[in-house]
Structure 1
Amino acid sequence: MAQGGVVRVDGDEFWHMTKVLRLSTNDRVELFNGKGGLIQGCIQMIDRTGLDFVALEDPILVLPLTTQWHVFAAFGTLKGGRADWLVEKCTELGAHSVTPLLTDRSPTISENRVDRLQRVIFAASKQCQRLHEMALNPPMKIDHLLPLVAQSKLSFVAIAEATPLVSTLTSSRNESSGLIVVGPEGDFTEKEVNRMMEAGATAVGLGPHRLRVETATIALLATLMLWSDSQPTPNS
């Protein structure tokens, strides 16, 4: 859509803009498509069923982050909104994708929960003004994760009592893509750990305390995002 173009907004987004944000005619608004496209405009007209947004300039394309972290976390059995919190914070911190990991101690995740998590991602993207949508992949078993670990130059697995993450990063070179793997409540089995290590994963510790799945995931992701931002880009 070019400058002067008009977009009709209705449904949930119309309700959110007018009832929650209390926007009205002539208010400035930014629309984005989840693919890096951003366009500035204003509300031209509001009626009972929707509103018309008019573009005040041509759209721009914002490039994605250079380093992309892919999260694989066994959160299928988490209760009380903890899985929602995990996915919401991964969205805010800038993870490129999140994949529910199926393990011996977390073997399933309901289809209804996956649908709900997609809605959580959408809401979090709007709240934090994230221009590139985070992907929520279908649930994956360890067997299918192993080839990805083998292909990735950076794959970190949170393991209790392993070498502290920060110590490991001092000897690691920044790459354009990496994997973050976190096990379920009760941790990975010894066999699962051995298979991931044989595939090339690096075990890292996150301090002296035993962390919940969602806490470990966010601690690992936040540290790696900050580390990636502080490193020179590959091939620079």
Structure 2
Amino acid sequence: MAQGGFVRVDGDEFWHMTKVLRLSTNDRVELFNGKGGLIQGCIQMIDRTGLDFVALEDPILVLPLTTQWHVFAAFGTLKGGRADWLVEKCTELGAHSVTPLLTDRSPTISENRVDRLQRVIFAASKQCQRLHEMALNPPMKIDHLLPLVAQSKLSFVAIAEATPLVSTLTSSRNESSGLIVVGPEGDFTEKEVNRMMEAGATAVGLGPHRLRVETATIALLATLMLWSDSQPTPNS
């Protein structure tokens, strides 16, 4: 859509813009498509069923971040909105993707929950103005994760009493992408840990306390995002 073009906004987005944000005619807004496309414009008209947005400029395409951490977390059995919180914070922190990991101690995740998590990602992307939507991948078993670990330059697995993450990063090569793997409540089995380590994963610790699945995931992701952002670019 070029400058002067129109978009009709209805449904949930129309309700959010007019009832929650209380936008009205002539208010300036930005629309984005979750794939890097961004366009500025204003509300030209509002009626009972929707509103008309008119573009005031040509759209721009924002390139994705070079930092790409992929989260694999066994959160299928989490209760009380904890999985929602995990996925929401991964979206805000900038994870490239999240994959529900199926393990011996967390073997399933319902389809209804996957649909709900996709809505959580959409809402969080709008709230934090993330222009490239985080991918929510289909649930994956350990067997299918192992080849990804083997192919990745960096793969970190949260393991109690392992070498602290920050200590590991001081000797790690400069990378801005990799895999983050967090086990279920009750942790991975010894066999699962051994298989991931044999595939090339690095076990890392996250402090002296036993962390919940969602806490461990966010602690690991936040540290790695900050570490990646602090690394010099190859041309610097």
**d(CA) in 1 for partners of 2:206, 2:149:** 20
Corresponding residue for residue 94 of structure 1 = 94
Moved more, 225-234 or 162-171: 225-234
Match of 2:56 in 1: 56
Is the CA contact (8 Å cut-off) linking 1:29 and 1:40 kept in structure 2? yes
SS in 1 for 2:224: helix
Partner Cα distance (2:132, 2:174) in 1: 22
User: 2 CA distance for matches of 1:233 and 1:205?
Assistant: 27
CA deviations on 1:188-214 (whole Å, 9 max, x unpaired) are 000000000000000000000000000
Q: Secondary structure at the match of 2:187?
A: coil
Deviations 1:86-145 (A, max 9, x none): 000000000000000000000000000000000000000000000000000000000000
- Deviation of residue 176 (structure 1)? 4.1
CA distance in 2, matches of 1:154, 1:232: 17
Task: Structure 2: state its 5+ residue gaps.
Answer: none
Unaligned runs of 5+ in 1: none
Q: 171-180 vs 199-208, which deviates more?
A: 171-180
Q: Which deviates more, 206-215 or 58-67? A: 58-67
Scaled by the length of structure 1, the TM-score of the pair is 0.99
CA distance in 1, matches of 2:86, 2:176: 23
Give yes or no for contact 2:176–2:228 (8 Å, CA) kept in 1: no
Aligned residues with identical type, % of pairs? 100
Q: 2:147 touches 2:199 (CA, 8 Å); kept in 1?
A: yes
Equivalent residues of 1:72, 1:99 under 8 A apart: yes
Distance 2:66 2:116 in 1: 29
What is the Cα deviation at residue 64 of structure 1?
0.8
Q: Is the 8 A contact 1:5 1:54 kept in 2?
A: yes
**Cα shift at 1:234:** 4.3
Aligned CA RMSD, in angstroms, stands at 0.8
Q: Identify if the C-alpha distance between structure 1 residues 197 and 235 changes in structure 2 by more than 3 Å, giving closer, same or farther.
A: farther
1:66–1:233: 8 Å Cα contact kept in structure 2?
no
**Normalising to structure 2: TM-score of the pair?**
0.99
Counterpart in the other structure of 2:164 = 164
Q: Is the 8 A contact 1:36 1:61 kept in 2?
A: yes
- Check the 8 A contact 2:3/2:55 in 1, yes or no: yes
SS in 1 for 2:24: coil
| Contact 1:175 1:234 (8 Å CA) reproduced | no
